């Protein structure tokens, strides 16, 4: 058998794939990283990163040592022993699973892969995905568990989280006992703890369950925020009091809506799969409906606070500054960010909008929004004073909130960033 040149091949060098590649490089493994974005590959080859949570010095070091090869050539995967797939699994416009990235990639892989390799999927999807896309085809070509191996190991990366990724327990599964063994032996080198589960489907459902759990609880606390707001009760003080209970309670916090690549998406993957089995997911759908309602609820509350009336919304040329475009603080990821919907609503209702985000110079175009004409401004004293209101949507640490508070006329805080209460700070 031809000797493999690289130990690891990673397809998709995004928020999961690139950190995973560097994890392996740190342990001395050779990694071939594949991505279809040629601009991304060119940056990586010069040691530059497009992610806020990746150390560029590490990239430069690993490229210099020839431990890391960024490439757009799928044929390079012929020389790789283990192939890890870290691709996005978004939704269609009808909120159905979109597995096109994975399917197109596997179509390219079919004529490249060879005996002795492991394919491990890390992308989040509904239970049965690994079997339907990979196993059904590969078991007709190989003796799975003997001369080819299939695994699913869900990613648990959390961009911006101040936690060593190696310390996050890694779930691993395999099509057969040998597949599981090979996957476990791979991941145990880079994670402090690898946890075996009995099937591909259990591992797939574990990831979905983790994220739906969060989505449902966030939906509940967002509904509580609406109720508390109507009763003039401080939601955050309620949560702070409740979390003193040492059992039977876990604090979740409200916000302007859900964003990111997991929590807004995964409930739809589970609901879609359940519907195929003739089951209804009423609880999940209700929480999703509440979470999706938050941006418009915030717009309505802003309108009422400014104009003291509830008639048809029209901001009549009022000037708003949006603080934060990312879906969570301290990262440069705007996927599914509620900030985009809030800006879109403000513009539709005749407001003038600018933004500030330390991680963005312009608002990226997405499948739902094209807000590239909304300009970024600097947070100078004179600039802040020009706006009728500031809306804190993402609570980045790299913002001088004292300066914002001192020079603003009114602040709508959707993240409880400004802890002290003031007449010009409205908690939403």
**Three-class SS of 71-85:** ECCHHHHHHEEEEEE
**Three-class SS of 220-255:** HHHHHHHHHHHCCCCHHHHHHHHCCCCCCCCCCCCC
CA distance 178 to 187: 14
Between helix 266-276 and helix 282-307 the angle, nearest 10°, is: 140
Q: Please, what is the end-to-end C-alpha distance for the chain in angstroms?
A: 63
Decide: residue 91, CB within 10 A, 0-12 exposed, 13-18 middle, 19+ buried: middle
Name the 3-class secondary structure at 53: coil
> ∠ at Cα 106 (103, 109), nearest 5°?
160
Name the residue among 193, 203, 153, 185 with its Cα closest to residue 81: 185
Query: What are the start-end ranges of the E strands in 111-250?
Result: 118-121, 149-152, 170-174, 194-196
Catalytic residue among 32, 86, 120, 262: 262
Task: Specify whether the CB–CB gap between 346 and 388 falls below 8 A.
Answer: no
CA distance 343 to 368: 12
Indicate if the alpha-carbon torsion angle 337, 340, 341, 346 is positive or negative: positive
DSSP H stretches of helix in 48-135: 56-64, 100-109, 129-130
- Count other Cβ atoms within 10 Å, centred on residue 420: 6
262 is catalytic: yes
Decide: residue 238, CB within 10 A, 0-12 exposed, 13-18 middle, 19+ buried: middle
Active-site residue list? 262
């Amino acid at each position: 058998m031809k000797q493999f040149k690289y130990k690891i091949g990673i397809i998709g060098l995004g928020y999961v794939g690139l950190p995973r590649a560097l994890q392996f490089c740190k342990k001395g493994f050779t990694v071939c990283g594949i991505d279809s974005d040629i601009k991304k590959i060119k940056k990586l080859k010069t040691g530059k990163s497009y992610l806020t949570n990746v150390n560029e010095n590490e990239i430069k070091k690993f490229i210099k040592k020839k431990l890391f090869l960024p490439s757009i050539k799928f044929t390079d995967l012929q020389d790789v022993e283990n192939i890890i797939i870290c691709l996005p699994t978004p939704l269609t416009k009808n909120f159905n699973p979109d597995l096109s990235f994975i399917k197109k990639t596997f179509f390219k892989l079919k004529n490249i892969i060879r005996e002795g390799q492991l394919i491990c999927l890390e992308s989040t999807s509904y239970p049965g995905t690994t079997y339907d896309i990979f196993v059904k085809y590969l078991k007709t070509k190989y003796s799975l568990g003997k001369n080819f191996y299939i695994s699913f190991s869900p990613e648990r990366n959390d961009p911006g989280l101040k936690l060593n990724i190696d310390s996050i327990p890694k779930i691993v599964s395999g099509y057969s006992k040998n597949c599981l063994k090979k996957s476990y032996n791979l991941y145990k080198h880079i994670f402090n703890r690898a946890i075996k589960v009995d099937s591909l489907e259990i591992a797939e459902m574990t990831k979905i369950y983790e994220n739906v759990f969060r989505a449902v609880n966030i939906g509940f606390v967002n509904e509580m925020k609406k109720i508390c707001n109507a009763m003039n009760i401080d939601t955050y003080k309620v949560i702070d009091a409740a979390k003193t209970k040492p059992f039977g309670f876990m604090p979740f916090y409200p916000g302007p809506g859900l964003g990111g690549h997991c929590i807004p998406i995964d409930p739809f993957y589970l609901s879609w799969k359940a519907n195929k089995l003739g089951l209804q997911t009423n609880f999940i759908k209700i929480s999703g409906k509440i979470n999706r309602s938050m941006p418009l609820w915030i717009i309505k509350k802003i309108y009422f606070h400014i104009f003291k009336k509830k008639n048809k919304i029209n901001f009549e040329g009022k000037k708003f500054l949006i603080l934060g475009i990312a879906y969570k603080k301290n990262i440069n990821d705007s996927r599914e960010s509620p900030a985009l919907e809030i800006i879109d609503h403000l513009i539709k209702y005749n407001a003038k909008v600018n933004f500030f985000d330390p991680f963005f110079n312009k608002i990226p175009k997405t499948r739902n929004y094209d807000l590239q004409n909304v300009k970024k401004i600097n947070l100078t004293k004179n600039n802040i004073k020009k706006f009728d209101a500031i809306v804190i949507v993402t609570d980045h640490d790299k913002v001088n909130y004292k300066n914002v508070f001192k020079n603003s006329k009114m602040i709508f805080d959707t993240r409880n960033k400004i802890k002290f209460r003031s007449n010009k700070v409205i908690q939403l």
